[in-house]
Each structure stands twice: as structure tokens, then as C-alpha cells.
Amino acid sequence: MRSFGIALMLGPALAAVCIANNLDKYGVFTPKKMALGSVPSMDGQVYSSGFTLTTDKPLATLDYDYEVAGLPYFVVSSVSNGPVDVEVKYSEQFPGLSRNYSDGPSQFTPSTANSRRVETHRFTESDVGTTITSMLSQPGERWQSLRLLTGDSITFEKVGLQASIEVIDDLTTLPRKFSSSNAKYDEIWMLGPRAITAACLDASSQVPSWSASGENGTFVPGTRPGISYRTWNLTNYVLTFESEIIRGGAGYTIAYDITGNRDGVQIHLASEYPSDTTYANINTTLFPANTATLAWGYDFANATSMTSYILGQYNVPFSVKENTWYPIEIRVNSTTGNIVFSVNGEQVFDIVLTEMGFTDDQLSFYGWASRGEGAIDFGGWQDQAAYVRNVTVTSLTDSSEVLYSNPMTDESVVVPEFGGQTNPYGSCLDGAKRDRYIWLGDFYHTTRIMGVANSKPEQITGTWEFLFEYQADYGQLPGFVPISYQSPMPTPEIFLYNAGTSSASYYFPDYVILGLIGLESYMDYYDGVAFVEAHWEEFTRAMTWLVGCQGSNGLIDLTPYTVVFLGAGAGMAVNAAAVQCLNGMAKVARAVGDWESANAWVETAASVKTAINNLLWNDTLGNYALDVSTPEVFGVSATAFALTSGVANKTQIKLSVEALEGLRQGPGYLDSSSTGNTTTISPNTNGFY
């Protein structure tokens, strides 16, 4: 991925500090096993030193034994018939090494980590003995492969990751431990601490990759586009800027819904692919030379539950040179869906989104069907890098009206605006690989595991600090938040769905319930009275919002918030979890001396519990209904929270657990009794409670 001359010298100063601090604090991850051959292999031998890739054995499979993360580095000791191109893949799961994009792309990963899980490096004789690092840090991975693409052979002296998380080979060294008479139980318990070690981050541990200078503007490596929060509501506009491709191509995104992290219109400009900078594995099918590729969605390739569509490929009427500045113009009429793209004053395409042969359902995500309105962003595809500068947005109907302007020369302004700065607080993500976002619902588990194993309360409190920054003025906490934007966030209201309207709110309202249950766990393990007292106003605002969701029938009703993870918005799982939350937060209130709130929340919990047993308990079937409208349907989540919340009495517990046998399917349970037998069982929902 490096080796395009000056690019690696352009890393931001903050990145250099971050890398140095990480090396000093964590050190490096080194592979534990290695296999040489022609295809990926799990049958590795103990890794002790270097290895050689040859035309006979062109592929090395590296196994780190557990999930790791950090900045990939390589030290070569010999290169034969160079330059030698080596393709490197990273994956959480072994099968990813056999896929074109490995286990990527990761669409919730900003530029502090590589959303691409494949990268290429070119090595020459001049690289021998030098530590070569990637431009971008890799999020969670266990497996790595290196494939020889060109040349006769290459010998690696060292390969690994400059760690961005703690290096803990032996989990028995953690502050807290678990031991039982059953070794299998001990191994299962270890899965939680191992996951938390990789998914929870120390403050300032994530490495920025964007940089800026007065001459060249902003350097943008090839990863998922960085999104400008300041441009969240652009509509009917003309976007102009200058772009210089350093290698391969550059990506420009418009129409992105930052308020819901939803989709966008992707434009990719490919260079002429000169032989001296073009890798052997470049994807000329997806991006032919001297073309502009137009796509709708998160990217130019699909990811799990995130479909993207290639809308068209268009020839640029000249050869697109690398290391050459071109003026770019994108004219957007979001009323009609018309987009006109021009390079160097020459029109490349003029299209209308609704006339591209795709349905409105295809070109929408969670109700977002942009026709050009939304935020702008810059990024690139695998192995690419470019500069961008002098960004200006004017009104489509009045060129004298400037809607946005950024010369892209001040790193301290650009990087936080486009979501690429290091994390100012410790934070816990829902997983090590996919996200650089905090998901409040998943935090429910993390807090409990942290308390009995890793014991890093600063990562718990740091997570809450992010959540407070984005709390809605009416009290609701966000279901998920980024960790790499400007902090404190000056305009948190723009991250609400339907921001700027009277119906603005956050999706995943039930995540607030789960997160506050997690706060009780934090207090149980750490007795964090000082932290809670300091933020009691934020917590009570969230609770006031939750209590305000109680309907006239006594049930909590989250239906107006559209997307609810636990099931029906006014259903059993939501309400039983709410009872658990209300009672738990009453304990927290008593700990900080707020007896008035404690008594009120206990009273509300009792009234919700009564409504549950009156409206959702099915005495005939012996279980709790998922929802009032479906009294005959029961499910895992409803039963789980009936037990953990104390809503069910002994008889109801017995009957509910017995009824679960009707959902059992081999290794797990169907989500509900209305789920078909052919449906894939979800480890997520089965393990959430």
C-alpha cells in the first residue's frame, strides 16, 4: 500500500505521536503460527522467525491465535527480481482469506481504521532492513495472509501489527478471573474477556490517517469516505474542489445521511493506471482506467445487510494522470435527482437517479432515499490515495451564495470535521472489526464482562462521555455514536434521524434501556458514585424520557421511534427490560442520594409490571406474548427479560422456560414461535440476554 513516494511522509503529526505512544504502551502483535503453500491453510507450525514467499509457495497464512488489532508492519531481508508486489489480507475468520475482499469491507469504520481488509505492498531492494508500515490501521483480525504477486521471491524478517489495543497473550493475568471444576466452562468464560480486550479502546489509541498541508490540501488514503458533519443538510448545490490522484483513483461521496449513517451516492474516478505505480492485482473490472464509476449505497461492494448498486461506468474523455491536479465539479439537483459530474471542465456524466433502472426500494435504506441531498465525503478504494483541496459548495440557483467552504489545509479543522481524529476518551465498541462506533445496546454486555475480567472502568466511563455528547435535548441517548468526530460535538442534534424536523429522534430507543441496565452493573462492580454524580443530570434526563414513553395502558411504547432491536416497540421484551432498568436505576439513584427519583422509578416499574401481567401473560399457553396484538406468539427475548427483570413469578418462570422447548432447533432457538424452521438461527439474538 505504501511506496508511492512521498505519501507516507505526509502522516499527520498526531498520528506519529499516537503510533509512538501505542508502541511504548502496548508493543507489537506477532503471529503465533504460520503455514506456507499456495492456498490459505489452518495447519500452521509455530512461528518463530522469518519466512520466504516463492513462486512454488507463494502464500503465507499467519495465525495470531486470537483477535488482534493495530498498524501492520513488515521488515524484508531480501527481494528477488523486484519490485515485488505482495497482497495482504486480514480477517476475523479463516474463510475470509479465500474471498476477494476478505471479510470486508467494513462500512462503520472511518479513517482511523482501514475499512478495506485487503491491501497491497510493493517492495524493492531499497526497502531491505527498513520497517514498512501500512497507511491505515487494521481493526480486529485473527488471520492474515501474504501472497506473492510479482517477482521471484521475497523474504520477510518480521511481520506483525504495531498494537492499538493491549497485548495480552495470557488472560489469566487479567485483574479478575474465573475458575470452575469444568475446564470447558473456563474456556467459555475466557471468550468474553478476549472479546472485550479487542473491542474496548484506551483513549487516543486509534491512529489518524488523514493529514493536511498548506500546499497540497488533505491527504486521503483509500478507505471508507470521511463524512463532513458540517455539510449534513446540503440540497440543490454545486460542489467544486481540486483532486490529485497519487495512486489508482479517488472517491467522492455525496447525498450521505449523516443523521442516520445511511448510504449515499458514490463516485469513483480512476486514473490511467501507469505501470510504475499500478499494482498487479488492481481491479480493472470494477474500476476501468480513465473512467468514473457511479454507485448507490455504502460502497462499491456489498457488505452484510448493506447492499450497494453500481449505477454506471462512464469514460473520461482524456487520460487521467496521476500526480496531476484536476478541478472537479458535481452539480446536484436534489429535487429531480439530477447529478452532473465533470472533470477538468469536461462533462463525464449527466444522470437522473430515478432513471437508472433501480426501484425506490432498492435505492433506499431504513427509509432514506436521497436524490442528492445530504453530506459530502472523500475517500478511496483499496490501495488508493489522493489529495483534495479548495472545497466549495454554492447554491445551484445562485452561484454567489456559498453554502460551505473549506480549503482543506488545516489539519486541526479537517480531521475532526470529517470524522478522522483519534478517540479522545476510552471507549467500548460492539466488536473489534466492523465498527468504530459505540452501540449502546451492546454496551449492556460489555459493562458486565469488564467488571469481572479486564477491569478498566475508564473505558466504561469514556463510553458514556461520548454518549452524553450526542444526547438529544429531550433526553434520549443515541443508539450508536461515532468516536472520531470533533469533541465536544458542537451540533449533536444533526445526528438525529430526520434532523431539522419536528420528528427528529434516535432509532434503537430500547438501547437506552439496555445501556442504563449496564450502568447498574458498572455501579455494582466499581461503586462509581463520583462519576454518576457528575453526570446525574444526563442520566435523569434519559430516565425522564423513558418514563414519558409510558402509554395510557401502562406499557412503555417505543413504537414512534421506528427501529427497535428487541422486538415490538410496546412488546414484552421492551417492557420487561424497562422494568429491570427502572428498578436498577432506582438503586443508582439511592446511591447518589436522589430518593425522590428512586421512589418515582420504583413506582413506574411496578405499574409497568402490572400492565405486563395483565396484557401480555397468556395463561392458556403458559408464556408471555411478544406483543398485545399477537397473544399466541412468544419468543426468546420476551422470556429472557421476563426472568431477568423479576416480572414473572415462580409459576410463570416454570411455564415460560418449559415453553422454550418449542423454539429449540439444535444449537439454538428460533427468535419466536412465528419464525419459520428454515430461518437461520441468530447467535446475536440468542446470546443477547
* DSSP reduced 3-state for 29: strand
The answer to whether the beta carbons of residues 257 and 495 sit under 8 Å apart is no
pLDDT digit string (tens) for 410-427? 999 999 999 999 999 999
- Only one residue has cell 501507469, namely 274
Cell numbers given for 292: 468514473
For residue 391, pLDDT over 50 is answered with yes
Q: Please report which confidence band the pLDDT of residue 49 belongs to, taking 50, 70 and 90 as the band edges.
A: confident
The whole-number pLDDT of residue 6 equals 36
The radius of gyration computed from the CA coordinates of the chain, to the nearest angstrom, equals 26
Q: Would you list the domain boundaries of the chain?
A: 7-166, 211-417
For residue 305, pLDDT over 90 is answered with no
For residue 87, pLDDT over 60 is answered with yes
Pairing outcome for strands 617-618 and 480-482: unpaired
For residue 4, pLDDT over 90 is answered with no
For residue 13, pLDDT over 80 is answered with no
For residue 285, pLDDT over 60 is answered with yes
For residue 10, pLDDT over 90 is answered with no
Instruction: Return the higher-pLDDT residue of 309 and 87.
Output: 87
Burial class from Cβ neighbours inside 10 Å (0-12, 13-18, 19+) for residue 20 reads exposed
Q: DSSP states of 248-309 as a string?
A: SEEEEEEEEBTTTTB--EEEEEE----TTT--TT--TTTS-TTEEEEEESSSSS-BTTB--E
Q: Whose CA is closest to 247, among 267, 213, 271? A: 271
For residue 3, pLDDT over 50 is answered with no
The whole-number pLDDT of residue 230 equals 98
Mean pLDDT of the 493-501 span: 92
The whole-number pLDDT of residue 83 equals 97
Burial class from Cβ neighbours inside 10 Å (0-12, 13-18, 19+) for residue 197 reads buried
For residue 237, pLDDT over 60 is answered with yes
Asked if 7-166 and 211-417 have one fold, the answer is: yes
* DSSP reduced 3-state for 334: coil
211-417: in CATH 2.60.120.560? yes
The whole-number pLDDT of residue 319 equals 99
pLDDT digit string (tens) for 103-128? 998 877 778 889 999 999 999 999 99
For residue 260, pLDDT over 80 is answered with no
Share of the chain above pLDDT 90, in %: 82
- Look at the alpha carbons of 332, 337, 342, 345 in this order and tell me if their dihedral is positive or negative: negative
Q: Please report which confidence band the pLDDT of residue 669 belongs to, taking 50, 70 and 90 as the band edges.
A: confident
Pick the CATH number of 7-166 from 2.60.40.10, 2.40.50.180, 2.30.30.110, 2.60.120.260: 2.60.120.260
Q: Whose CA is closest to 53, among 88, 22, 21, 12? A: 88
The whole-number pLDDT of residue 8 equals 42
For residue 347, pLDDT over 60 is answered with yes
pLDDT digit string (tens) for 123-164? 999 999 999 999 999 999 999 999 999 999 999 999 999 999
The whole-number pLDDT of residue 675 equals 84
Mean pLDDT of the 655-683 span: 85
For residue 232, pLDDT over 60 is answered with yes
CB-CB neighbours of 239 under 10 Å: 21
The whole-number pLDDT of residue 689 equals 64
Cell numbers given for 535: 453526570
Q: Which of 79-88, 429-438, 630-639 has the lowest mean pLDDT?
A: 429-438
Q: Please report which confidence band the pLDDT of residue 5 belongs to, taking 50, 70 and 90 as the band edges.
A: very low
Question: In this structure, what are the phi and psi dihedrals at residue 394, rounded to the nearest 5 degrees?
Answer: -120, 165
pTM: 0.94
pLDDT digit string (tens) for 261-272? 677 899 999 999
Integer Cα distance of 81 and 38 in angstroms: 20
Cell numbers given for 13: 503529526
pLDDT digit string (tens) for 289-301? 999 999 998 889 8
Strand partners, 163: 70
Q: Which of 39-43, 304-308, 374-378, 440-444 has the lowest mean pLDDT?
A: 304-308
Mean pLDDT of the chain: 93
For residue 407, pLDDT over 90 is answered with yes
The answer to whether the beta carbons of residues 199 and 429 sit under 8 Å apart is yes
Mean pLDDT of the 17-40 span: 92
Mean pLDDT of the 654-680 span: 87
The whole-number pLDDT of residue 665 equals 86
Cell numbers given for 219: 491527504
For residue 93, pLDDT over 50 is answered with yes
| 33, containing H or E segment | strand 33-37
